[in-house]
Chain A
Amino acid sequence: MIHADILVIGGGPSGLSAAIAAGKSGAEVLLVERSQYFGGQLVKQTHMFFGSEKQHASSRGFDIGKKLVEEVKKYGNIKIFHNTTALGIYEDGVVTLEQKIGAEEIYLKVRPQSIIIGTGALEKSLPFPNNDLPGIYGAGAVQTLMNEYLVKPGKRVLMVGAGNIGLIISYQLLQAGVEVAGIIDASPKIGGYLVHASKIRRSGVPILTGHTIVKAEGDKHLEKATIAKVDDHWKPIPGSEMDMNVDVICISVGLTPSSAFFWQGGCEMKYVRELGGYVPKRNRFLQTTVENIYVAGDSAGIEEASSAMVEGSIAGFAASHDLGFVYEDFDREMQDLLEELQGLRGGEKGAHIRAGYEKVMF
């Protein structure tokens, strides 16, 4: 049995930030990450971040990940396990882990006093005929393939979804030397930031709003996509179909929180459309309805890496505080973090997220 006051599941932006905050507070922390790298989806973010300076604005995503990992390593009271998958939370408080060491796998147990869950999100798909053909990938998958493994997804891509992820990844496809045939979105408006959309348009890639994908065709790999205009009810208009010869379709229609551990841990859950799916109810310190389980990052609701980092810090300081490990400047730090989070969710763009959070706060 491994000893830890606080177990952090997930080594992405929220988990790393949670571990740092708990480490600063003096708790014994175990941070587990299933992949070989820490940083979560930051490792493939080659673009510059917006937001406040405190959350590393104008740094590239992968550099932010590296900084957080370096920070974590400064604390002797934080143990970090990569290649380690949390398998289950048991009724007696034990969490089981599977750790890969080379080609071997070992089984470990930990009984933490508290758990911070930052398991991120899953990519959604879309229903259309032959949507399972090789060549049809989640947009994040294409980003992973290009920016982590330096492999092109194919020759000519149709991007489905003109939100920020769809726009950013389209631009990254161009940077990798891949042709982007077009970006479509069923909505009448581009969902992502104008600055990203303009960059794409300047590169000559058409953005077709009010269009959806109707079907894909191919034998063992995608060969053709058919798109069509949609009416006011988002239904394809017969006769408006258009064929596109593409070998890749990138699906960028949003993410849904990775919620398995909250269900297993017995947290009260709620379906919140604005947050991307089922999420645990929580107070403003990110404590769920199960006293010793906290939530942070995309698994709390789909947002951005900037807010995931702030949430991680809040959960890390709060979970430590509740166990009696109180950071010397706790009150001021917590006040700052809560204000920062409010700032990140401010304005018109944040209205959607704010509406979502109102539904799950207690």
Chain B
Amino acid sequence: MKVIALIAVIMTGTLLIYGTGEMPDWGDPNSPANSYVSPRYIQEATEKTATPNIVTAVLADYRGYDTMGETVVVFTAALGCILILRKKRNGEGG
């Protein structure tokens, strides 16, 4: 069983390492991820949101609703932990 797992993992890793041949070089300023959307954020974020930290500007201004949804995710996880771990009283179902 462990041999099958090892073979599957090594096959996955080999395929992924084969795929890195098409990836951009490390630290390339002209890679696709760095050249289409992000320059606009870097140039306009401070002007539009008055926040020097661009990560904060994107997190709390551009994606404010997403961050609010994240708090819902954390709240739901905490609620789930409480519901899973609570001690049930005698005679009560669920």
Instruction: Please say whether chains A and B are actual partners in one complex.
Output: no
**Chain B contact residues, CB within 8 Å of chain A:** none
